Chains A and B, each alone.
Chain A
Amino acid sequence: MKPYDAIVIGGGHNGLVCAAYLARAGRRVLVLERRERVGGAAFSEQVFPGFTFTVYSYVVSLLRPEIIRDLELPRHGLHVLPLESTLTPLANGDHLAQWSDHDQNRRALARHSPRDAEAYDEFGRTLHQMARAVKPLLGMVPPDPASLAPGDLAGLARLARHFRGMGRGVFHALHKLLTMSAADYLDEWFESEALKGTKSASGIIGTLLGPRSPGTAYVLLHHYMGELDGVFRAWGFAKGGNGSVSAAIAAAARALGAEIRTGTPVARVLVESGRATGVALESGEEIRAGRVVSSADPRRTFLELVGEAHLPGELVEAVRRFRFRGASAKVNLALDALPDFTCLPGPGAHLRGAISISPSVEYLERAYDQAKYGEFSRRPYMDIVIPSMIDPSMAPPGKHVASIFAQYAPYRLNGGWTDARREALGDAVIDTLAEYAPNLKSIILHRQVVTPADIERDVGLSEGSIFQGELSLQQLFSVRPAPGWSKYRTPVEGLYMCGAGTHPGGGVMGAPGRLAALTMLGARR
């Protein structure tokens, strides 16, 4: 049999995207997935009969449109339905709603502050311009600023030209966005607490940082990134749950000739005289291939699968201090009926969008205060969607599923995560949400709570970090995952990385997998 050109470790969406692109270029590819099913964190399951939970990740934020086109994912079953609104219930029974229609949105905001309603457009324009300025960086293999290689120098020169060409206003705005806290940045634009709270929430997702910590403003930009690619309304929900995203990519990869083996945990990468030659499975079997590409996070890849012995000390040091710090939990509910929110009673369009428990920046900051010292937030930030409102096939007729993303639930919990602590977290989430939707407790048929420790154990993401490492400034672009190794290559020849732990990181779905594949295809043997 013809040997494999490449083995992809991990069948999460990035691994599958990488495999699909390699297969598309005619390479013989084998994907090895530890679990019985592909998808990694993009995974749907009927945990409770008749109810499909999107167990971990739950929205399609920024699945790159070129991937959807290149891999013809709609032909393989992908259908992304838009989330059209964000509702922020407030403690006083009022609410803030943000809608995709400009007039409707302006009116909803003006109810809280006419200034904010006006500023919203200008804010959107500024972020749009910055997204335009940043977008080329996302699609670019980051140059190494410390290198004197002609390729890196040319890349740096291109980068310098790019920054100098973006104009003073945009450059300075970008500087602020990269270095400010979400709270401070939003304070410069808005006065309504509910709006600032809800906007700043996107700056803290997946990160153990509070909205007042510098570095959290940058993530606000990701919301505007999708629109540039013609993905108007970037936030969406995949029909069938996020598992169907993985299923579609896997189907595309198979159709292109890739082989996918599930239930096949990799024990280590085989390294011979500084070169990756294949992998050894936990079963003892060894599989050889010209290249090995790992979609696992940097810690797992380097410290577990490769081993320090094969790596320079500096890289080991950098990987050790790479911050994961998972901070997010999921609570998935099977519901007998729709939750009834005090602020907007009854069913309505608001239940088809996201519901955000983020009444103010201070609310989020206080939630973070507890997490800083190793406790989960008693009153957490939550992002709730009711997938069955968008895709009725997720639950039996008339019944519903709710997906609750909750933060902060620090991986390093004082005393560690136990079953009791997990359920206590679930209670805190439900208690808090029930303050806004009093019927909640009476309609819950089943509850699933997923902590960062569960994510680490079940999905294999270190410390339960949903982005395979925090998206903080010191872990982005040229230094993701480590200085000098931001280009999907590793010190082990023939070993590549393609997970969210590489540029441009998590939340920009599929981009690392694609860029890694393109890097490998461009590289000479």
Chain B
Amino acid sequence: MSGATVVIGADADALVAAHYLARAGRRALVVDEREAPDAPALEPGWIPPRVVRDLALERHGLVVHAPDPWAAAPLPDGGRLELARDLARSAASTARASRRAAHRRPQFCGRMARLARVLELLYAGPPPDPLARAPGELARMAGLAWRVRRLGRRAIEDLLRVLPMPAADLLDDWFESDELKGLLGLGGVMHLAQGPRSGGTAFALLHGHVGSPPGVFRPPRSNLVEVLARLPGIEVRRGARVARITVRARRAAGIVLATGEEIAADCVVSGIDPRRTLLELVDPAWLDPELVRAVRNVRARGVVARATLLLDREPGFSALTLAPSLDDLERAHDDAKYGRVPQRPALEAHAVDEAADAAGRRRVDVHVQYAPHALAEGAWDSARRAALGDQVVALLAAHLPGGAAAVVERSVRTPLDLEAARGWPQGQMHHAELALDQALWMRPVPALAQYRTPIRALYLGGPATHPGGGIAGAAGANAAREIIRDARRGRL
């Protein structure tokens, strides 16, 4: 197999797609408009073992950071609720928050793990197409259905009941501890413009659980992007902004860079968001206006800001969540929904597990939710950015040794900054919100769910495709496999 493929974007999915194509004997050129990789050293996302194996990532220095305890939350009595990766070990800590929680948690974790297992089965390949008529696809679906049924009556019942639920209802069914529910509830709304009382957030909670051991409701963090970028076999061109995708004789024929340079290719894979790919880089004349409408309607609302703090001492935690209760989360979302920065955003801080820098400073990455992309009054500017930084430091100060004074430097990225720096539409990391109506065969829209576009040889392979963001590299690997299949059948 030969032929040149251009991959647009150098995020995890795009790079994985490029590597798979390169391994299938295609020339793969990755173009990215950023001059240098702009990702933090560690990005969250579970990497399917198959991708790790196929690309021999471990041999090339993949470091998966799975902190233990994986989460901690301050308790009103001054202690901390610490959740260890080992369920038994965290029982004692859970009991501090609530005896009942400690008692019920193992059962809850077991049932959720089984549901996450169902998602994992669905995430291993391209999305099932319930209306497919092809025998191969029917057989695959029958296989999936059989494997799901084997998980037992309870799993099927849970699946029907839990997926559409609000995370808040699910957690209220099981637990009383506000701190525990707040901590888990944040997992249900991560990167979502929804509060924990919104339907479908239980699905998001499970999505973040896929691939993790029972009881761990946050994906691990890894240096995947960095490893993929230096893994040999592909060419990566940075600072190359794509102006358009050329379409000739009704098929993608390459790209034109903003500089005017043309790069011919017999296949183009876009790892950037579908709206930009199809509505800006391609002449929409090639698309059905209804598809254009559907792509425009893909929901991608950014609600997350990121802060990086440099401390002059050890932070005293590996992970710390400040989401004291479901109500607190919900109220923060209320603010964001009307375009306001919340009084008390939910925070999740991670101490970056690397040696202190030359000055002996430690880095802490903070996920800040909810920060709306568009403000109802005014717009994001340096003053508002700084004010958000103040809020983050003020909220964290009580939990840092030395308080606010320990923070010697900080930087904040608003959704707007993230959009500009990372190319995330409206600052939405997953390119398309991970909601039930934008999952599986609906992701990002039904007509694009199988990675193909109406333009021959143009594929989507970014986080907006199944299984989506948070499952690092899976969408890229799926897209690459579909391309290779098409090439084999002479349909490329």
Contacts and interface: CB of A to CB of B under 8 A. Distances in A.
**Direct A–B contact in the complex, CB atoms closer than 8 angstroms:** yes
Interface of A: 145-147, 163-164, 168, 171-172, 175-176, 178-181, 184, 187-188, 209, 212-216, 321, 323, 362, 365, 369, 372-373, 472-474, 478-479, 483-484
A179 B164 contact: yes
8 contacts: A147-B153, A172-B442, A175-B441, A179-B437, A181-B199, A188-B297, A472-B199, A473-B164
Given A188-B297, A472-B164, A474-B165, A213 B198 contact: yes
- Among A146, A362, A369, the most chain B Cβ lie within 10 Å of the Cβ of A146
B127 to A, nearest CB: 12
A145 B160 contact: yes
Contact of A474 (B152, B160, B446): B160
B349 interface: no
A213 B279 CA distance: 28
B199 A216 contact: yes
A145 B156 contact: yes
A484 B442 contact: no
A53 B197 CA distance: 35
Given A180-B437, A369-B334, A373-B327, A171 B130 contact: yes
B173 A168 contact: no
A32 to B, nearest CB: 32
B200 interface: yes
B200 A179 contact: yes
Contacts of A478: 160
Contact of B442 (A145, A175, A188, A373): A175
Contact of B437 (A168, A175, A216): A175
Contacts of A209: 197-199
B437 A146 contact: no
Contacts of B442: 172, 175-176
Interface residues of B, number: 37
Interface in B2-44: none
> In terms of DSSP, what is the predominant structure of the interface of chain A?
helix
Contacts of A214: 164, 194, 198-200, 435-437
Given A146-B153, A474-B164, A484-B157, A365 B299 contact: no
Contacts of B153: 146-147, 483-484
Interface in B322-378: 327, 330-331, 334, 337-338
Contacts, number: 95
A171 B198 CA distance: 24
B250 interface: no
A147 B149 CA distance: 9
Nearest to A168: B131
Nearest to A175: B442
B130 A164 contact: yes
Given A164-B130, A209-B199, A483 B162 contact: no
Interface string B187-200: 00000001001111
A172 B127 CA distance: 14
A213 B437 CA distance: 12
Given A179-B436, A212-B198, A474-B165, 17 more contacts: A146-B153, A175-B441, A175-B442, A179-B164, A180-B435, A181-B198, A188-B293, A212-B337, A213-B199, A214-B198, A214-B437, A473-B164, A473-B199, A474-B161, A483-B153, A483-B157, A484-B157
B183 to A, nearest CB: 20
B166 interface: yes
B34 to A, nearest CB: 31
B235 interface: no
B195 to A, nearest CB: 8
Contact of B337 (A178, A180, A365): A365
A479 B160 contact: yes
Interface in B35-87: none
B419 interface: no
Interface in B126-157: 130-131, 149, 152-154, 156-157
Nearest to A325: B169
Contacts of A188: 293, 297
B131 A171 contact: yes
A373 B327 CA distance: 8
A46 B130 CA distance: 54
Given A145-B160, A484-B157, A172 B446 contact: yes
Contacts of B149: 146
Contacts of A473: 164, 199
A323 B436 CA distance: 21
- Among B153, B163, B293, B327, the most chain A Cβ lie within 10 Å of the Cβ of B153
A474 B160 CA distance: 7
Contact of A176 (B165, B169, B338, B437): B437
A187 B298 CA distance: 11
Contacts of B152: 146
Nearest to A323: B169
A279 B194 CA distance: 47
A479 B161 contact: yes
B199 A163 contact: no
Contacts of B166: 213
Contacts of B199: 179, 181, 209, 213-216, 472-473
A212 B193 CA distance: 10
A365 B197 CA distance: 13
B338 to A, nearest CB: 8
Contacts of B131: 163-164, 168, 171
- Among A213, A472, A474, the most chain B Cβ lie within 10 Å of the Cβ of A474
A214 B196 CA distance: 11
Contacts of A373: 327, 331
Contacts of A168: 131, 446
A176 B154 CA distance: 26
